[in-house]
Every structure is written in C-alpha cells, then in structure tokens.
Amino acid sequence: MSILYSEQEKVVTLHTASTTYQMKIDKYQRLLHLYYGVRIDDMDSSYYLQYSDRAFSGNIAEARYNRTYSLDVLPQEFPTYGMSDFRIPAIVVQYEDGSYALDLVYHSHKIYPGKYLLDGLPHTYEARDEVVDSLEIVLIDPVTKLEVTLLYSTFEKADVITRAVKVTNNGSQKVSLQKVMSASLDTMNREYDLIHFHGRHNMERQFERVRLSHQTAQFGSRRGTSSHQHNPFFILAEKETTESAGACFGMMLVYSGDFQATTELSQFETVRTQLGLGSEGFNYVLEASETFTAPEVLLSYSSKGLTTLTHQFHHLIRHHIVRGKYQYKRRPILVNNWEATYFDFDENKLLALADEAVDLGIEMLVMDDGWFGKRDNDQTSLGDWFVNQEKLPNGINHLVPQIHDKGLKFGIWFEPEMISEKSDLFKQHPEWHIHVPNRESVTSRHQYVSDLTRSDVRAYLYQVVSDILKKAPINYVKWDMNRSITNNYSLKLSPEEQGKFNYLYVKGLYELLERLTTDFPDVLFESCSGGGGRFDAGMLYYTPQIWTSDNTDAIERLTIQHGTSFGYPLSTQGAHVSAVPNHQTGRVTPLDTRAVVAYSGIFGYELDLTKLSIDEKEKIKEQTAFVKQHYDLLTNGTYYRLISPETQAGYVIWQLVSEERDESLLFIVKNKAQANTPFKMVRLKGLLEDNEYQVETYEKIITGRALMTQGLPIVETYRDYDATVLYIQKTTC
C-alpha cells in the first residue's frame, strides 16, 4: 500500500516512488498539511510545526485559552473562511441564514487499492502496471453538518498524486458554494518562482517565470474555456531550479472551463498554492443531501529539475488520461484544407488535394470549415450540420468513398457548440443559444454559443453529428470552439441554479463527447478552440490530440510548443507545415524548417498541395517518409529542452530520446541570425554514458558521456531560420 495511516501519530502518509505527501489530524481534530517533497520513509514530519502566540491570529473554540494555536499560523490541508485562517480559503460557503463560517473537523477516512472515480468529469485512470491507491478523508462542520471529502490517489511510478473534492450537504438548510478549490497546498517559502503559461489567440502558452512576492499572484479564465490567455497548469520552482537540477512541483487541472490558480505568500513567509474552478459566476446551491464534485488536480514533485517534472506529467497524460483506439496507435499524417482554401472549396478541389496528397505520402484529407448549411464565410450556418449542396452536390456519402478509394482516410470539421444567428437552427430554436432574457447578447465571430446545459440541445447535437458520422465512414473529427462564453445563463435553470451554469456547460460538453467517442470508437477526435484555446487535460480525456495553435509560423511555434511542452506530451500537440509567406505573420521560412518544427507534434500539412513546385514535392515526400520512419521516437520519445527560446541564444534546440536510449533526434532551429557568431556547443541529454553513438553528419563515433558533458558543436549556418534534425544512433552495447 502506498498510503499509510499511523494511529499513534494520527499521520496519513502518501508515497510515490520518489515523493512523499503527509498530513496530520491534530489534537483538535483539524487536518494539518505536513509535507510534500522528496520521499521520506518512516517519518512523521510534524517536528517542524511551530506553535507560537501571534497577535490577530485568533483561536478556535477548543483552543480558547491556548493562544499558541491558530489556524492562521499552521499549515492547513483544506482551509476555510470565517474561522480564523485569514489566508486565501479553499472553500467559501453561505448558509440559508446568511452566515459563512465553515469549520472542517476530521470525521473519518478510508484507504483502498485502486483509483477513486469522478462521475461525469474527466479523471485519471488505473492502467498498465501502475500501482494506484486511494484515500478519502471526510471532514464535517460540527454545526451545519456540511461534509467535505478530500480524495487522493497515488500513481506510484509516475510520481503523481491526484486530488479532488466532494461537498455534501448533510444539513436541512440549503448551502450555497461560492468557491471550491480542487487542491490547496501549504508549504514553507523556499524562495519560489512561479512558472506559468500565458498568451493570446495565435500565441498560446508563453513561458513566464516570476518570483513570488507578498502580492497574491492569481490567474485563470472567465471565458467558459480554459483559454488561450492562461493554461490550467503551473509550476512552483525554487529560485535555483533549472531544467536539470533543483526542486519544483506542478499542478494541473483536469478541466476545460473557467479556472483559478492562486499563490499567496503569507505574513509568516509560508506559501499557499491553489487550483480549482473559477469563482466568478460560480454559486452552486446544494439542496439537502446533494453532492457537488470539484474537478481533479494532478500534483507532481521533482527534486531533479523541470525536465523530470515534465516527464512525470507527460507520462501521466499519455498513460492515464488519454484513452481510446488512438492512445497508442499511429495517427495519420493529414492535410487540412483550411489554409489551402478557407471557405472557397468544392468537391473537385478536395479531390485534387487528395490526388496530390496520396503521391506525397500523406494519409488523410481533412475537410475543414465551410462544408455545411450556406457557410461561405464565418457569418452563417453554425448549427445547420447538413451538407452544403453547392460545394458538395453529391453529398458526403459520395465524397468519402472517393477519398478512401485513393487510399486516404477522411476527416471532417465540426463546431457543435455554436449557433449562428443566420441559421435554420436559430430560426427553429432561438431559445437554444446562451442568452439572458431581455438583454442583447454579445456576438463573437458573428456567432452565439449553444446551451449545452440543456439535455435537448445535447440530444440534437448528438443526433446531427452521429448522422453525419454514420452516413459515411469518416475517420477523424476536428471539434472546434471559436468564441468565449458571455451572457452566461440558461432558460432551463431556475434563478437559484444560474450559479451552476458554467460548471454544467462543461459537464454537458463532457457528456456529449463521452457519448460520441464511445459510440464511434474508430474515429480519431482532435479538439481545437481557435487553435489552443482549450488545451487542457480535460479535453485530452476525450480527444487524444489538440490543435496547438492557429499560428502555423515555424518561428512563433517554437515558443508556443516550448511552453506547451512543460505539461503536455508531443503526442497531444497538432503541428502542421503551412505555406509561406505565413498567413499569420507574413514570415518566410524554408520548407525544411517548417517541417523540423512540425515534427515535434502530430504531424500534418495545411497548404495548397496543388501549387507546389517539383522540388517542394520531393521535399514533402522525404518529410512524410521521415515521420513514418521515426514515428515512435517523434511521438513517444522522452523530450528534453536543451536551448530554450527565452535564452536569446539565436538557436532553439530540443531532443527526443527513445525509451531504450539507443536512438535520439536532435532538433536545431536558428531563430535569429548573428554576424561572426561565437563557437557554440550543445550538451545532449538522456543518452547512455558508456555507449557510443553515431551522430548524423559527424564522421566520428562519440560516447554518450562526451555528448552529454563536452557536447556537440552547433554547425554555423548563414541565414535566419535555417533548421536541421540530426538522427543519433547507438553503435555498441
């Protein structure tokens, strides 16, 4: 068992292979957090707790005359509001009588083998030879009987602990939940830096590292999706921590809607870190006996730097979040017609693209936006998921077999969550779009969002999407979502229930995705939200890959893919080669460079194949052959960031190493040319020290030790944006 309880010490200890997490039920039955860090066996770490009289830090009733005991001073496992911990609470509730105080007292706990489950929410699951144990701790308010269950599971090999929270109303009054975090963690301040991933449309997940200060740091999303602007994943790293050394831990939310991440450096230099649902617009009224479930958080710690932390998250997502046929199966190299044609296509154009694709080694044609209703621009027809007769007069069931006959798979774009004002669906069901009665709604890209909290809307969407998927053997669906949610309200919910709306929308989406992915197990689903506006572990539970960004510029993709890599494996990131000048930036980069960057993701093309020169076609044939040859290494290799885009070195370099460490790929992209450049070396990682390796283009055989200590010289090239990928292979045992 990786979870232990000491009756004598009243200490609960959770172990993974290299980490330990510990908490204690104290003499007043309050649950204190003791420790999270490198594995410590057989040890009660409560020795470090200090009880001292601190002014303005009040004492709970049981400690009325003990001025050295205050919740405000001690590390809390799940802090509440109104009962003397004045730091940021993990939970805020209001009762029918208007009061807020919540006092969580230990009631019971259970430890069991296997993983806890979360109904209707995505969550990690047990698989392969991973040992998973679970713990549930029940805390109850003595006055109102409100019950909070803290759930934990240990993924021993992965060095990950998952957490979730359930709140049950055992009282007779209604309780409104105004804030429920999924995880709260109190630690001593080790001069932490916060590493988080901010951005915007076309520039998602930009790395930022800032020192924690006494100003509370908070970020999140109020957009209804996890968003382009912030990712529900962050790291706290000690000041000295680098890629390969030092302590750090990360938190990732398995959820795709509004979220909130907070770090607070307290008056006594302790740090509180929280992650959970966003609290604006959230007011979940619990009836008597009702239970609310907060989404799961993944928590991982590394004492060996950021790279190890990354590997732990990659492992968990690949083996315990992503599901279905394509979890391990090779994903087809696709060409998507969006940047090739935008809305201006018809059956003939698609067939012409397909003809070229086959010759180039591409394996799937994806028909993007514009195939339905009267959709010739982005102003109409969302919701009318019926074939556009002008573009596809013979229907999808005529098109798909022709594509299949050419030897290609076929994929299709949907934006099921949306409804255009100019659509038949809107005329028939104006009540289906999200809006507040008697208030003009905000449009975005001329569209509204459909109310997925409603079961009739979900039933309709299931019907239309599955009708299309049944009409022809479609192999792939791109599930898009191209606006943020406003006017948050559902006609089907009572006034009192409106505070559940944001959460129920996301649960409605999950229910729809669960049904469709279960009923169409052979279809590969890729999710998208204007690129990477909903790039999170919640979506990855249903769709094994996500379109990383609408920005296909190879140089900008370096920073986007770099930021994304900290939490998410390459097997989840869609990456395509597009035309130049690039449609988002106007930048011109060589075709080879665009491929070198797109190799580090689920590879594809997004350009007009009918306009390629002979030379370009030859190069593309080589690229598709390269991806097929190295697919396993490219998708499942261990990922190392060697020279990151923040360094201004003029190069960005990263590396993939096979599980057996007998093969590796080294990617070098010059993002800024310099005159008369100094000599530069790059140290490789992950190789076997005593083995010898043949590095492509280098004559000499070099040992792993030399490659990882002395390094490899970066061969100077003249221009901006040159790129190369070197294959490295072990020569001896």
Which residues contact ligand GLA by CB under 6 A? Answer: 338, 368-369, 378, 413, 480, 482, 528, 530-531, 547, 550
Active-site residue, from 616, 632, 716, 720: 616
By CB atoms closer than 10 A (0-12, 13-18, 19+), residue 718 is exposed
Which residue is closest to ligand GLA by CB? 369
Q: 368-373 contacts: CB < 8 A, separation 24 or more?
A: 368/336, 368/337, 368/338, 368/413, 368/478, 369/338, 369/343, 369/413, 369/415, 369/480, 370/342, 370/343, 370/344, 370/345, 371/396, 371/412, 371/413, 373/420, 373/423, 373/424
Token match 């597009």: residue?
Answer: 578
Active-site residue, from 159, 204, 536, 606: 536
Q: Which DSSP letter does residue 171 get? A: S
Sign of the torsion angle spanned by Cα atoms 188, 189, 195, 198: positive
CB of 117 to ligand GLA, least distance (A): 33
Q: Give the whole-angstrom CA distance, residue 367 versus residue 91.
A: 46
Nearer to ligand GLA, 480 or 592 (CB): 480
Nearer to ligand GLA, 224 or 704 (CB): 224
Amino acid symbol at 515: R
CB of 92 to ligand GLA, least distance (A): 36
CB of 644 to ligand GLA, least distance (A): 26
Q: Give the whole-angstrom CA distance, residue 186 versus residue 84.
A: 16
Paired tokens of 26: 């104290």
How many CA atoms does the CB half-sphere of 295 hold within 13 Å? 30
Nearer to ligand GLA, 193 or 606 (CB): 606
SS3 294: strand
CB of 206 to ligand GLA, least distance (A): 18
CB of 331 to ligand GLA, least distance (A): 17
Bridge-partner residues for 252, per DSSP? 233, 298
Nearer to ligand GLA, 531 or 637 (CB): 531
Largest CA distance in the chain: 86
Q: How far, in Å, are 327, 552, 665 from residue 576 at the CA level?
A: 20, 7, 19
CB of 375 to ligand GLA, least distance (A): 9
Annotated catalytic residue 467: no
Paired tokens of 605: 């093309």
Bridge-partner residues for 3, per DSSP? 14
| Alpha helices in 31-171, H assignment, sequence order | none
DSSP letter string over 531-563?
A: TBTT-SHHHHTT-SEEE--S---HHHHHHHHHH
Annotated catalytic residue 415: no
SS3 323: coil
Nearer to ligand GLA, 375 or 458 (CB): 375
Nearer to ligand GLA, 543 or 644 (CB): 543
CB of 413 to ligand GLA, least distance (A): 6
Interacting residues of 587 by C-beta distance below 8 A, sequence separation 6+: 553, 554, 555, 556, 580, 581, 721
Q: Which DSSP letter does residue 120 get? A: T
Paired tokens of 409: 């798979």
Give, for 669, the enclosing helix (H) or strand (E): strand 663-670
CB of 44 to ligand GLA, least distance (A): 52
Nearer to ligand GLA, 75 or 411 (CB): 411
Cα–Cα nearest to 365, from 534, 608, 584 = 608
Amino acid symbol at 470: K
Amino acid symbol at 110: K
Q: Give the whole-angstrom CA distance, residue 184 versus residue 231.
A: 18
Cα–Cα nearest to 638, from 592, 688, 703 = 688
Nearer to ligand GLA, 535 or 626 (CB): 535
Q: Which DSSP letter does residue 48 get? A: G
Nearer to ligand GLA, 378 or 511 (CB): 378
Amino acid symbol at 299: L
Give, for 233, the enclosing helix (H) or strand (E): strand 230-238
CB of 606 to ligand GLA, least distance (A): 8
Cα–Cα nearest to 122, from 514, 528, 566 = 514
CB of 339 to ligand GLA, least distance (A): 8
Contact in structure between 184 and 31 (CB atoms under 8 Å): no
CB of 412 to ligand GLA, least distance (A): 11
Nearer to ligand GLA, 310 or 420 (CB): 420
Paired tokens of 672: 């800024």
Nearer to ligand GLA, 180 or 474 (CB): 474
Nearer to ligand GLA, 204 or 722 (CB): 204
Nearer to ligand GLA, 76 or 548 (CB): 548
Paired tokens of 578: 């597009």
Determine how β-strand 31-38 pairs with β-strand 19-25: antiparallel
Contact in structure between 701 and 731 (CB atoms under 8 Å): yes
**Rg over CA atoms, the chain:** 27
Paired tokens of 532: 């990477």
Contact in structure between 77 and 139 (CB atoms under 8 Å): no
Hey, which residues are catalytic here? 536, 616
